[in-house]
């Protein structure tokens, strides 16, 4: 899948969450600055919710190699230590109507719950 297609799919999902919640999103949000260079693929920083899109599921991509798995674990711990809730999805789920709808409902409901706190 081309980068333009990935960006379009990612942005459309983020905009759909924002439309349901009225909470703005940020693409490539640096959630651990200045200590780390970690970025969330999509973040709703006002409520500390993030979406990580893991590619290469079936092609031994970056997220499936030992060093990258360890780096993702470290990043996940960094999110947790800062109070973030993180959703993970493969690109396939964002392109599948049923899976996308399920994920959209879960993320939007979580964002709404965190606004209420």
- Segment 87-94 shows an average pLDDT of 95
pLDDT(25) > 60: yes
**pTM (predicted TM-score):** 0.90
Residue 111 contacts residue 23 (beta carbons within 8 Å): yes
Burial label, 12 (beta-carbon count in 10 A; 0-12, 13-18, 19+): exposed
- Digit-coded pLDDT (tens) for 48-77: 999 999 876 655 556 566 778 888 899 999
- Smallest Cα–Cα separation from 1: which of 57, 75, 66, 48? 57
């Amino acid at each position: 899948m081309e980068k333009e297609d990935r960006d379009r799919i990612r942005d459309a999902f983020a905009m759909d969450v924002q439309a349901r919640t009225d909470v703005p999103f940020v693409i490539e949000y640096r959630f651990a600055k200045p200590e780390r260079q970690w970025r969330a693929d999509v973040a709703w920083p006002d409520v500390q919710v993030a979406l990580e899109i893991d590619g290469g599921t079936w092609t031994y991509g970056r997220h499936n190699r030992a060093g990258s798995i360890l780096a993702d674990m470290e990043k996940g711990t960094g999110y947790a230590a800062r109070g973030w809730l993180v959703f993970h999805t493969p690109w396939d789920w964002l392109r599948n109507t049923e899976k996308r709808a399920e994920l959209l409902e879960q993320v939007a409901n979580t964002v709404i719950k965190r606004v209420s706190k």
